[in-house]
Amino acid sequence: MWLRYHASMIHVFGIPNCETVKKARAWLEAHGVAYTFHDFKKQGVPTERLDAWLAALGWEALLNRRGTTWRQLDDATRAGVTDGASARALMLAKPSVIRRPVVDWGDRITAGFDPDDWARHATRR
Given CA atoms 103, 105, 109, 110 in this order, what sign does their dihedral have? negative
CATH of the domain at 18: 3.40.30.10
Within-domain flag for 63: yes
**Residue 3 forms part of a structural domain:** no
User: How many domains would you assign to the chain?
Assistant: 1
Is the preceding omega at residue 101 within 30 degrees of 0, hence cis? Answer: yes
Q: Is residue 80 part of a domain?
A: yes
Judge whether 6 lies within some domain: no
DSSP secondary structure letter of residue 50: H
Whether 49 maps to a domain, the answer reads: yes
Is residue 18 annotated as part of the catalytic site, yes or no? yes
Which residue is catalytic, options 18, 28, 90, 97?
18
Inter-CA distances, 57 with 6, 8, 53, 115, Å: 24, 21, 6, 19
Q: How confident is the model at residue 7 (pLDDT cuts 50, 70, 90)?
A: very low
- Is there a domain that residue 29 lies in? yes
What pLDDT score does 6 carry?
44
Overall average pLDDT of the 31-56 stretch: 95
Please provide the size of the chain in residues.
125
Structure confidence at residue 120 as a pLDDT band (50, 70, 90)? confident
Global pTM value: 0.88
Q: Which domain holds residue 30?
A: 11-124
* Residue 86: predicted pLDDT: 98
The pLDDT of residue 124 is 60
The answer to whether residue 4 sits within a structural domain is no
- Evaluate whether residue 1 is within a structural domain: no
Report the alpha-carbon distance of residue 85 to residue 37 in Å, rounded. 26
